[in-house]
Chain A
Amino acid sequence: MTPEDLHDRLIADWRQAAGPMPRVTATEIAERAAPEQASRVAVLAELEDLRLSFTELHGLLDDQAADVRATSRWTARDVVAHLASWAMETRREAETLLAGGAFDYSIHFEREGGPRAWNQQEVDARARRTPAELFDELDRETIRTMDLMLEASEEVFGAVATLPRTSGDPAEPWRMPLGAMVLMSCWHARLHLRALEELLRKPRV
């Protein structure tokens, strides 16, 4: 068999395999896409996807880029510190829920700008860390959260939990399943990752 023959046969096999669609529809997929319904496999895949994105961002963030202003208050390095603080907080919340504990602190989200005081305090706490150390923290915490997602019983994974995150006046705690909480953290990290990537890929003058 020539290489060309084999290539043609592989393509034919591929077309056969990628033939008829499953009977599940786009509408059924959309109905099941709510974060509250996410499977453990999907949550793990989203966390691993974040790890890949962090690695790619690390490749873009040299010492010079780390000092680029990313927001009105923060440099690119500060944003990575912010991501590390939320990776830590996500792991901490997951750990507490797995242990069956309650939260003795709260993180209050303002109507605009989120938990500004908590965010700044956590960025300040990491002020002396290098980008490499921050990325190391990000990866370590994300891996630990993945381990916790594997360890969680079906009951803990699926139960609606009360989180330390609050909003409103009077403050009301957020309530959602563990998997949805982790997906929300992934979504938040991606928002910053996209903005940082866009910023760092721009030619610098």
Chain B
Amino acid sequence: MRDARGAPDREFERLFAEYGPSVRAWLAVRAPAGDADDLFQDVWTIFCRRWREWTPHPQAEAGDDRPVLSFLYRTCHLVLLAHRRVRSRRAMLPLEESPEPASDGLAERTRQIQIGECLSAARACCSDEDLAVLTAKLSGVPARDIARTLRITESAVDHRYRATVGRIRDRLSGASA
């Protein structure tokens, strides 16, 4: 039985340990560095609330964890979109009406992460939607769920992935030439 409000159950803890790193990596590639930790918490608090609603849990129906991975990917994408909307709204406000950036200490305890040469190249030469496809593919999200999240077709997902990899290769070749 799950606690309605407080402590997480063991299965939630297992999923957090299993997929926390993927969520963190999606955000490391797509979110501004200073915001990634707050957004990480948004993704997981949304998942935690949903987890309390799901009976039976989706992975129990499917016999594996992929529905959870897909849900986290979709949530991460929507959190990023929402974050950009809030930021652009704040940018339009007069300075005296702009709230102070939230900082609660918890986020500050998390660590910055390195994303490596290829992912750095991807970030430098690809659109956010390209990065959304690339990072989903690298983490094993099924193409059908990537397509649903991004509101594109599965063939568009495959096409975009190949084009993105091609662009990264060109950039790295240019850098080494």
Interfacial residues, chain A to chain B (CB-CB below 8 A): 1, 3, 6-7, 9-14, 16-35, 37-42, 44-46, 48-49, 52, 55-56, 146, 150-151, 153-154, 183, 187, 190-191
A37→B6 CA distance, assembly (Å): 13
**A14-B25, A16-B114, A48-B81 are known contacts. Are A41 and B42 too (CB-CB below 8 A)?**
yes
Bits for B9-33, please: 1 = Cβ < 8 Å to A, else 0: 0001100110011101100110000
The 8 Å CB contact of B118, one of A10, A29, A150, A191, is A10
Q: What are 18 pairs between A and B in contact, CB < 8 Å? A: A3-B165, A6-B168, A9-B118, A13-B115, A13-B118, A14-B138, A14-B139, A16-B114, A18-B24, A23-B109, A30-B8, A33-B52, A34-B5, A40-B82, A41-B83, A42-B42, A45-B81, A151-B89
A151→B97 CA distance, assembly (Å): 12
A17→B74 CA distance, assembly (Å): 19
**A6-B169, A45-B46 are known contacts. Are A13 and B21 too (CB-CB below 8 A)?**
no
Interface residue tally for chain B (C-beta within 8 Å): 67
**A16-B115, A30-B7 are known contacts. Are A190 and B53 too (CB-CB below 8 A)?**
yes
Asked whether B48 is an interface residue with its Cβ less than 8 Å from the other chain, the reply is yes
Query: Secondary structure at chain A's binding surface: helix, strand, loop or mixed?
Result: helix
A52→B107 CA distance, assembly (Å): 29
Bits for B51-73, please: 1 = Cβ < 8 Å to A, else 0: 01100000000000000000000
> Do B45 and A48 touch across chains, with their CB atoms under 8 A apart?
no
> Do A44 and B86 touch across chains, with their CB atoms under 8 A apart?
yes
Cβ–Cβ < 8 Å partners of A32 in chain B: 41, 45
The 8 Å CB contact of B119, one of A10, A20, A33, A55, is A10
The 8 Å CB contact of A22, one of B52, B110, B168, is B110
A55→B149 CA distance, assembly (Å): 11
Cβ–Cβ < 8 Å partners of B6 in chain A: 30-31
Cβ–Cβ < 8 Å partners of B46 in chain A: 42, 45-46
A22→B107 CA distance, assembly (Å): 9
> Do A24 and B49 touch across chains, with their CB atoms under 8 A apart?
no
**A22-B20, A40-B86, A41-B39 are known contacts. Are A154 and B99 too (CB-CB below 8 A)?**
yes
A1→B81 CA distance, assembly (Å): 34
> Do A1 and B138 touch across chains, with their CB atoms under 8 A apart?
no
Cβ–Cβ < 8 Å partners of B149 in chain A: 52
**A19-B21, A22-B110 are known contacts. Are A183 and B85 too (CB-CB below 8 A)?**
no
B7 shortest CB reach to chain A, Å: 6
Asked whether B103 is an interface residue with its Cβ less than 8 Å from the other chain, the reply is no
The 8 Å CB contact of A19, one of B41, B113, B139, B169, is B113
